[in-house]
């Protein structure tokens, strides 16, 4: 008597494992992550070593040290876009959705895997960059310690904000299904649209701009919140909403469109 072979079932754990394996087997993943960490540390230490303490004052010490994370906003966005739109460009998405016909578990797994990679990378990079940079800033107005008010919160908030921006980019990639278009929309939304809106002479527009991605990232990073900036909690909530809207649009697109 022979026993029937039980077919493999599609489970959330198996979809997660599949997406984790796909992400780490891409050479672009390693290049992007290494570049993100190296640029953040290198720029933070380099600027601090060159700083002569003659600044005008008022600069936030955490934002000053983490100026290199400006590169991370683009690098991690590229990683997020490649995780979704990249599969459409290579045609691999057909095999992925054939294996997981319900589709949405693929999107949630991609977002979870990206967040699980991006947050630890950004957090540990920040925790490494800050003390290395402070070794050159001990006698300047940018001198600070991890135990100072708002410093550790700023380092963690920056990592969380960058992770949410990466997830937002992942959702944009799933909506547009094009790497160039996704990156164009992301860069326009993060860097260009807020500056254009600030040209409008309306107070309500200025209030809204502070919750746009780049401005929310600054608020989540700063150890000392400025009077015209959003609070760190509100900034992270705004970024979470941006990411959620992007994923919701991606989910709708994924269910309604053919591959």
Determine the structural domain holding residue 104 and report its residue range. 12-256
- As a whole number, the mean pLDDT across the chain is 88
Mean pLDDT in residue range 5-30 = 81
In a domain, 5, yes or no: no
What Cα–Cα distance (Å) separates residue 258 from each residue in 93, 171, 239, 255?
11, 17, 30, 8
Query: Is position 195 within any domain?
Result: yes
pLDDT value at position 103? 84
* Domain-embedded: residue 6: no
pLDDT digits (tens, 9 = 90+) for 218-253: 999 998 887 778 899 999 999 999 999 999 999 999
Give the per-residue pLDDT at 57.
Answer: 57
Q: Is 74 a domain residue?
A: yes
Burial of 256 (0-12, 13-18, 19+ CB in 10 A): exposed
For residues 241 and 24, give the distance between their C-alpha atoms in angstroms, rounded to a whole number.
28
| Cβ atoms 179, 173 nearer than 8 A | yes
Residue 259 has pLDDT above 80, yes or no: no
pTM of the full predicted structure?
0.92
Nearest-angstrom CA–CA distance, 204 and 210? 10
| Straight-line distance from the first to the last Cα atom of the chain, in angstroms, rounded to the nearest whole number | 42
Q: Is residue 16, in this structure, part of any structural domain at all? A: yes
Residue 37 lies in a domain: yes
Q: Would 212 be classed as within a structural domain?
A: yes
CB neighbourhood size of 16 (10 A): 17
**Is residue 57 domain-resident?**
yes
- The total of structural domains in the chain comes to 1
With H, G, I as helix, E, B as strand and everything else as coil, classify residue 114.
Answer: helix
Render pLDDT for 35-58 as a digit per residue (tens, 0 to 9). 999 999 999 999 999 887 766 556
Nearest by Cα to 167 from 109, 247, 241, 96: 247
At residue 176, does pLDDT exceed 60?
Answer: yes
Determine which helix (DSSP H) or strand (DSSP E) holds 208, and give its type and residue range: helix 203-209
């Amino acid at each position: 008597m022979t026993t029937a072979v039980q077919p493999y079932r599609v489970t959330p754990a198996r979809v997660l494992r599949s997406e984790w394996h796909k992400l780490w087997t891409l050479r672009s993943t390693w290049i992007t992550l290494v570049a993100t960490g190296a640029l953040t540390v290198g720029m933070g230490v380099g600027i601090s070593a060159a700083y002569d303490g003659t600044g005008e004052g008022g600069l936030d010490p955490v934002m000053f040290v983490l100026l290199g994370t400006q590169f991370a906003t683009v690098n991690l966005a590229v990683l997020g876009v490649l995780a979704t739109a990249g599969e459409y460009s290579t045609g691999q998405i057909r095999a992925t959705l054939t294996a997981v016909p319900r589709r949405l578990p693929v999107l949630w797994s991609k977002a979870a895997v990206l967040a699980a990679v991006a947050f630890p990378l950004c957090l540990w990079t920040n925790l490494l960059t800050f003390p290395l940079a402070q070794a050159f800033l001990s006698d300047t107005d940018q001198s600070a310690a991890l135990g100072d008010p708002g410093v550790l919160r700023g380092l963690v908030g920056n990592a969380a904000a960058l992770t949410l921006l990466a997830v937002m980019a992942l959702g944009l990639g799933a909506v547009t299904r094009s790497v160039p278009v996704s990156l164009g929309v992301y860069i326009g939304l993060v860097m260009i649209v807020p500056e254009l809106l600030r040209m409008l002479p309306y107070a309500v527009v200025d209030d809204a701009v502070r919750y746009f991605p780049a401005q929310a990232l600054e608020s989540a990073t700063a150890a000392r919140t400025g009077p015209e900036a959003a609070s760190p909690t509100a900034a992270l909530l705004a970024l979470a909403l941006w990411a959620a809207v992007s994923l919701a649009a991606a989910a709708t697109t994924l269910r309604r469109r053919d591959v």
